[in-house]
Amino acid sequence: MAGTETTTSKGAAPDGSTAGPAPEDGTPGASVAHHDLAGLEAGLDALDTVQTRRTPLRTTLVQKALPPFVAVALVLVVWQVLVWAKITDDYKLPSPTAVWDEVADAWAQGTLLGYIWTSVSRGLLGFLMALAIGTPLGLLVARVRFVRAAIGPILSGLQSLPSVAWVPPAVIWLGLNDSMMYAVILLGAVPSIANGLVSGVDQVPPLFLRAGRTLGATGLRGTWHIVMPAALPGYLAGLKQGWAFSWRSLMAAEIIASSPDLGVGLGQLLENGRTVGSMPMVFLAIFLILIVGIAIDLLIFSPLERRVLRGRGLLVRS
């Protein structure tokens, strides 16, 4: 029997199925494929593109400014209703108008801004000192195993210790002066800043460190260009907590250790109100302490946090 010659016709698949010829440039099939590929690339580019459209002012006011005003108004209404209901004596729960009169008196006497500046200047200077100490300490604990084993648990214990506990020994050691105030702030804030940086460094992917070493970023150069940028979210969280500890430590020191030589800060104003039995003055001091804390967070830490998160693609405006 003669052998049969098997041939594959042009355009036929090896399995016997018939496939059409591949579309060539200029044919309708090639045009459709080109448009499909272009559409796919455009869709991927749209997913990767960060929307930078500016939010209208009205929308910003409604979403950001209106809710706090509504909450404050609700608190004032409930407060006034409790005053009208006579749930307690007037000297224990003054009306909002009585507290406002106290604000007006302090403003008229020119002492209101002095109260605020005395405490804010101490708090910011003490925080900067804590930042200068806590940052290298945190890096040392995070990068040197022996140092972490030696003082890591101590830093965690100091962070959980109430800062008010440092006021009596600070007064005995340093006396009633600004140095005592700064010592209390440092003892309260440094552990928080250091632990925040340690936590941030621990979360740095090892791949970043290996890539940095491959590129020659070792030692201080690697710390500055690789470790610190990668640890920035945790470090920023430690800074926010460090400021909170600084502010609370300062208020505790001003309340407990008062002296005419130290001036009248917000903590001293609070203690003066308790001494003379003036609840409007007490409420004024509490509100000013709260307002300063909120203002520092909104003006300094929140913008920094948004910038860091946006730089890492974690906060995209839609």
What's the chain's length in residues? 318
DSSP label at 227? Answer: I
Tell me what pLDDT residue 251 has: 92
Q: Is residue 68 part of a domain?
A: no
Alpha carbon 186 to its chain centroid, in Å, reads 19
Q: Which of 11-20, 30-39, 63-72, 102-111 has the lowest mean pLDDT?
A: 11-20
SS3 18: strand
Q: Is residue 194 part of a domain?
A: yes
What is the CATH classification number for the domain harbouring 116? 1.10.3720.10
Tell me what pLDDT residue 55 has: 65
Total tally of structural domains belonging to the chain:
1
Q: Which of 49-58, 121-130, 139-148, 234-243 has the lowest mean pLDDT?
A: 49-58
Q: Is residue 303 part of a domain?
A: yes
Tell me which residue range forms the domain holding 128.
99-311
For the whole prediction, is pTM greater than 0.85? no
Q: Within a 13 Å sphere around the CA of 208, how many CA atoms are in the beta-carbon half?
A: 15
Q: Which position has the higher pLDDT, 5 or 299?
A: 299
3-state SS track over 34-47 = HHHHHHHHHHHHHH
Q: What percent of the chain has pLDDT over 90?
A: 35
Q: Is residue 38 part of a domain?
A: no
Locus of tokens 């200029």: 26
Highest mean pLDDT among 134-138, 224-228, 230-234, 307-311: 134-138
Confidence of residue 207 (pLDDT cuts 50, 70, 90): confident
| Dist CA 300 CA 125 (whole Å) | 15
Q: Is residue 225 part of a domain?
A: yes
Q: Is residue 278 part of a domain?
A: yes
What is the full DSSP assignment across 143-207? H-HHHHHHHHHHHHHHHHS-GGGGHHHHHHHH-SSHHHHHHHHHHHHHHHHHHHHHHHHHTS-HH
Q: Is residue 236 part of a domain?
A: yes
Tell me what pLDDT residue 209 has: 74
Tell me what pLDDT residue 318 has: 45
**What would the mean pLDDT of 143-169 be, rounded to a whole number?**
89
Q: Is residue 91 part of a domain?
A: no
Tell me what pLDDT residue 14 has: 43
* DSSP3 helix / strand / coil % (the chain, rounded to 5): 75, 0, 25
**Amino acid in position 114:** G
Confidence of residue 4 (pLDDT cuts 50, 70, 90): very low
Quick check: 133 pLDDT over 70? Answer: yes
Burial code (b: 16+ CB inside 10 Å, e: under 16) for 89-105 equals eeeeebeeebbeebeee
Cβ contacts of 131 within 8 Å, gap of 6 or more: 193, 239, 242
The predicted-structure confidence for 220-243, as pLDDT tens digits, reads as follows: 777 777 777 878 888 888 899 999
